[in-house]
Structure 1
Amino acid sequence: MSKELKPQSIVIAGGGSTFTPEIILMLLDNAETLPIRTLKLYDNDPERQKIVADAVEIILSERAPHIEYLATTDPKEAFTDIDFVMAHIRVGKYAMREQDEKIPLKYGVIGQETCGPGGIAYGMRSIGGVLELVDYMERYSPDAWMLNYSNPAAIVAEATRKLRPNSKILNICDMPIGLESRMAKVLGLESRKEMDVRYYGLNHFGWWTDIHDKNGNDLMPKLKEYISKHGFSLEGLGKDPKENDPSWMDTYRKAKDVYQLDPYTLPNTYLKYYFFPDEAAEHSDPNFTRANEVMAGREKRVFGECMRITEMKTAKDTKLEVGAHASYIVDLARAIAYNSHERMLLIVPNNGSIVNFDPTAMVEIPCIVGSNGPEPLTQGEIPRFQKGLMEQQVAVEKLVVEAWVEKSYQKLWQAFATSKIIPNAKVAKDILDNMIEANKDFWPELH
């Protein structure tokens, strides 16, 4: 099959990420349907990237020696002659994520990577980094597409809509994909691809409204019955691996309480932070947050394995895993490269897809994807409950981007005060002032 398909040139921006090895393994696993001629890693942290890059070089030499490979910190080298940028950068790395999580907790507010004050702080750091990647791509490979899954996707998507409106960038998130994979297990299906879904919302802020199998059978009743009892935890089936992080297990279980608010739909798990923010804060350890979990677990595990591969000079017995969720990125690249018209959830300008909602909002909805990009599918009118929640949250996202552009303290305070997660304007100001100090190397200077 690969002989019929034009091989692609890909740069992974954020080459030093702990997710890079699993994305590369996933790309190699899908080489028949997305053949690759060149693979590059790009990062602005050469030491961190080298840990991953040296191991990747060995993996490629053993599994795909025909692929031309380069790891670089030079934007011109990285972005010249490419078809796709796969971007997953983390400006400020885990050290700043730790601040995002711990500063709000001092004020009794949940600190979370993409929601509430933590998400806003991270968004203020991410905007400039993602725009820089877009500009490199347009300068050196103007026909390329950027598939961006850098968080917080909602704020980044609003920034690119507003500041790079004509750029070929698609903002995506694998969180709904992970949940759909769990749904497939509940239903006894082999794959989430056996389901056709309808979904609407903002990133990390959405609802499934309809799920059918390929024969037209309605799968929602069985899913609702299960989720009302177990949430998205698979413990009810005895299938949740013991090594799952405790914070994720809590999140999966909590979906049963979120579901009760609207039993006509199935909720994204992140909604727990908006409906039960005080509970989420109470259950957090202010000395050991999710960032510490990742640094002590995933980062140590992945980097340790990369260094072992480099030392042993072979990856034949590697414990590195293929990123199953990341297969979504392959599906998206293939749809664009080969015009396959795949149906996918993407974050796109609303433009009437949700009839009774802001046309400029960046909404997460199903789209048909081909070589010209996404064609959003109309979702019709949405109920007042979801509409009210989404309007409040989209206001936060737009205020953050306006604050970044205008360097406006006032607008950023308004964004914090508008967030459903923060209890009042004084707490919003206290957290903001603390975060300005912590982010002085990353945020624009506000006035």
Structure 2
Amino acid sequence: MNENKKFRICIVGGGSRYTPGILKMLVAEKDRFPISTIVLYDNEAERQERVCGYGKVLLREYYPECEIIHTTDPETAFTGIDFAFMQIRAGRLKMRESDEKIALKHGCIGQETCGAGGFAYGMRSVPAVCAIIKDIRKYAPEAWVLNYSNPAAIVAEATKRVFKGDYRIINICDMPVGIMGMYAQALGLPSSRLEPRYFGLNHYGWFTHIYDKETGEDYLPKLKKMFATPMEDDGHTGHEVDASWAETFRFMSKMVRECGDKFMPNTYLQYYLYPKHMVSIENPDYTRANEVMDGHEKRTFEMIEEVIAADKLKGTKYEMTEEDFNDGHATYIVDLAYAISHNTQDIFLCMTENHGIISNFSEGAMVEVPVRVGINGVEALNVGEIPTFQKGLLENQFAYEKLTVDACLEGSYEKAWNALTLNRCVNDTDTAKALLDDYIEANKAYWPELH
């Protein structure tokens, strides 16, 4: 690789509330991962223009040799790019609110990736993500597509089929990395010191080891003891968190105690293993989507407007600090791009096709496992056989995800109905049909027509 190369990056979903964090991380990593141009691409011009306005102030003060532009034109966005960071949300948070509240009306979890809400969101995301990647491949055939868009497992299953063999599409999620950060905080270590071993599907997996890169020590037994005790509201993160996440961190202790001696659970397993409890603590009139709209999204765009009005960050409360360089969502995607561009062979948790990685699990499923990352993409570490309990849960979930993608790509009402019936947060055929019919009505502008 040319060490003097400066990369051209496109952030797909440029109007996202996460974009400022990615921009700050790109600034923080400018010496390690130099960039010539950042392109913001979105289908909402006005929202994206506001984010770009913030970006122009940020780069002028902290990274003047890098330019930032915004566009709604795919040719302008993708021509000549090296990386596309994808973080779209089809239907935005208003449709997430719809997903969650429809599910709760039927007594089911509506969470954006795990329950019936994840199904509805997946049916919106698959056509949108695939259409964008087709445009990327038209104008930038060799670009790397690092896809953050949820529900990641369903999106990964779809992109595997639609773009068969395209190893430059890598589907990722920052949740395991966020959990690793929580472990590091509890251990008093930097996150970079820890190296995980993990298996599952996205938002549906278990840590098997947490190694210290320097000493080789496996911290999993120590972490199980630490996390078996209910946490404070910050969940060992050291930062204030929203009410729903605080509840997740408190509940995690129950999962850790009941998970067995060998593994540590991904926090999202609470939706699959304890669906009755999760429904019981939900407010059908004020869901996670409402919390985000009134919380992080509102704060982000208030910050953007204040920075644009002041025309500066330096000397204001938004001046960059060391904490700004620790955005887990942003850090992960930049680290991954660096590993690819510099062929580091570092280990990440990514989604990849199961060809013997988990030896007793469905061939070809998009599993989330540790992989080495370099210029030729991802190379998975072997997991071997998994226990019957975890295998049974994962096979059921994979069948649901596979049928969801079938329904979307084929326009099949029957497969959509079957998928929802299999979902562990639904598990009832009549309820699945009622949910499906309500979701079809709510998603006319987004879903393919089902027959």
| TM-score normalised by length of structure 1 | 0.96
2:112 equivalent to 1:108: no
Match of 2:358 among 350, 354, 362: 354
Match of 1:311 among 306, 309, 312: 309
Aligned equivalents of 2:414 and 2:111: distance in 1? 23
| Per-residue deviation, residues 97-144 of structure 1 (Å, max 9, x unmatched) | 001110010011111011111001000000011111211111111111
Aligned residue type for 2:267: T
2:45 equivalent to 1:32: no
Counterpart in the other structure of 1:223: 223
Counterpart in the other structure of 1:299: 297
Deviates more, 1:355-364 or 1:56-65: 56-65
Give 5+ residue unaligned stretches, structure 1. Answer: none
Q: CA deviation at 1:389?
A: 0.3
Aligned equivalents of 1:110 and 1:435: distance in 2? 14
Give the secondary-structure state (helix, strand or coil) at the position aligned to 1:28.
helix
8 Å CA contact retained: 1:26, 1:324: no
Aligned equivalents of 1:132 and 1:55: distance in 2? 28
2:326 equivalent to 1:326: no
| Per-residue deviation, residues 365-410 of structure 1 (Å, max 9, x unmatched) | 0000110100111101111011000000001110000001110000
Alignment of 1:424-443 (within 5 A): 424-443=428-447
Aligned equivalents of 2:126 and 2:247: distance in 1? 30
Q: CA deviation at 1:170?
A: 0.2
Match of 2:281 among 273, 280, 283: 283
> Structure 1 residues 364 and 227 mapped into 2: Cα distance closer, same or farther (>3 Å)?
same
2:268 equivalent to 1:270: yes
Aligned length: 442
2:399 equivalent to 1:402: no
Q: CA deviation at 1:46?
A: 0.5
Match of 2:253 among 253, 256, 265: 256
Alignment of 1:50-61 (within 5 A): 50-61=49-60
Aligned residue type for 1:315: L
Alignment of 1:11-410 (within 5 A): 11-167=10-166, 168-189=168-189, 191-214=190-213, 215-230=215-230, 240-241=238-239, 243-259=240-256, 260-316=258-314, 317-319=316-318, 321-322=324-325, 323-410=327-414
Aligned equivalents of 2:432 and 2:232: distance in 1? 32
User: C-alpha root-mean-square deviation of aligned residues, in Å?
Assistant: 1.6
> Structure 1 residues 3 and 413 mapped into 2: Cα distance closer, same or farther (>3 Å)?
closer
Aligned equivalents of 1:217 and 1:233: distance in 2? 28
8 Å CA contact retained: 2:99, 2:120: yes
| TM-score normalised by length of structure 2 | 0.95
Identity of aligned residues (%): 47
| Per-residue deviation, residues 175-197 of structure 1 (Å, max 9, x unmatched) | 000000010111111x2221121
2:402 equivalent to 1:414: no
Give the secondary-structure state (helix, strand or coil) at the position aligned to 1:166.
coil
Give the secondary-structure state (helix, strand or coil) at the position aligned to 1:229.
coil
8 Å CA contact retained: 2:345, 2:373: yes
Q: CA deviation at 1:423?
A: 3.5
> Structure 1 residues 364 and 3 mapped into 2: Cα distance closer, same or farther (>3 Å)?
closer
Give 5+ residue unaligned stretches, structure 2. Answer: none
Aligned equivalents of 1:330 and 1:24: distance in 2? 10
Aligned equivalents of 1:72 and 1:325: distance in 2? 23
Q: CA deviation at 1:32?
A: 1.1
8 Å CA contact retained: 1:305, 1:318: no
